[in-house]
Structure 1
């Protein structure tokens, strides 16, 4: 694979974004980057998260799965929370977990309880693509 100039890349993106006709579904564009002479399994230099300058989804709803320490802080900020006791009440019930997943766009989880989440809710959150991201 050869190197692509930034101008060629921007022209290709503009051609893709050019509106041909109205579509009745949301479209997404994926950009795949391959690095030469880099093994992602051995070298973890590029792992991490990235903060975007603009909000992607302004009405995104997030729920915090947390312990009691983080629950008090989140309640003060107005963030919806669920603690371990509330997760235990779901009891791996597929319908209740699905209902919870449909209420929120994403889930964050305290480091202290992230290992217990799969035991409490089962594999259903992962199947729906809503498995929580660890926050500290």
Structure 2
């Protein structure tokens, strides 16, 4: 995918967008083709790292104890839950749902994953927010920093889905680099690459769509 073509589409989308008093989101509309989306293997359900981040605050919650919990707090995690709080959250469905909607990414020590799955799986699972397992070979600080530049892409069973790629006040070059990273990921996700992509459009929240592919 040519970088200049993506950048030109981003600039057009920004130019055509009406002026607003808030920083609008920049979104991609991905339209797939020649895929049976009833087959789970054809659905997008991935975390993609954007080279320039999503341009907005990403909220992160960590389930951990001891030194790992302290390091998570030091790295700026928005919530750090002790293992004892898992059952408390499980009993308070309203709070659990509110938390699941507010937080973008959950991280949990691997030993806690079974308890989280049993207690909070019904809330986190359907939202695609089951925690990233923190195994002994991973560093919680690195996972937190990585998650701040990540987005969750889920197509479910739809041939068309939308992905946030930045904010209107970001540099157009940085937005285009984020789009390029997503298109490359999708290209490598499917056996036929971009032949399984009908079209890709970019737009601001309130603006018209501009074709990228």
TM bin, normalised by shorter chain, reads 0.5 to 0.7
Structure with the higher fraction of residues in strand conformation = 2
- What is the match of residue 12 of structure 1? 9
8 Å Cα contact 1:67/1:112 also seen in 2:
no
Structure with the higher fraction of residues in helix conformation = 2
2:77 is aligned with 1:91: no
Please give the residue correspondences for 1:74-113 in structure 2 after superposition, counting only pairs within 5 Å. Answer: 74-75=72-73, 79=77, 80-102=79-101, 104-113=103-112
Aligned length: 121
Q: Which has the larger radius of gyration?
A: 1
Q: Give TM-score, length-normalised by structure 2.
A: 0.43
- The CA distance in 2 between the partners of 1:7 and 1:98, in whole Å, is 42
- What is the match of residue 26 of structure 2? 28
Give 5+ residue unaligned stretches, structure 1: 35-40, 42-46
Give 5+ residue unaligned stretches, structure 2: 33-40, 139-213
Deviation above 6 Å: which 4+ runs of structure 1?
none
- What is the match of residue 132 of structure 1? 131
RMSD: 3.7
Alpha-carbon spacing, 1:119–1:7, altered in 2? closer, same or farther (3 Å): same
Q: Give TM-score, length-normalised by structure 1.
A: 0.60
- What is the match of residue 117 of structure 1? 116
- What is the match of residue 73 of structure 1? 71
Alpha-carbon spacing, 1:96–1:70, altered in 2? closer, same or farther (3 Å): same
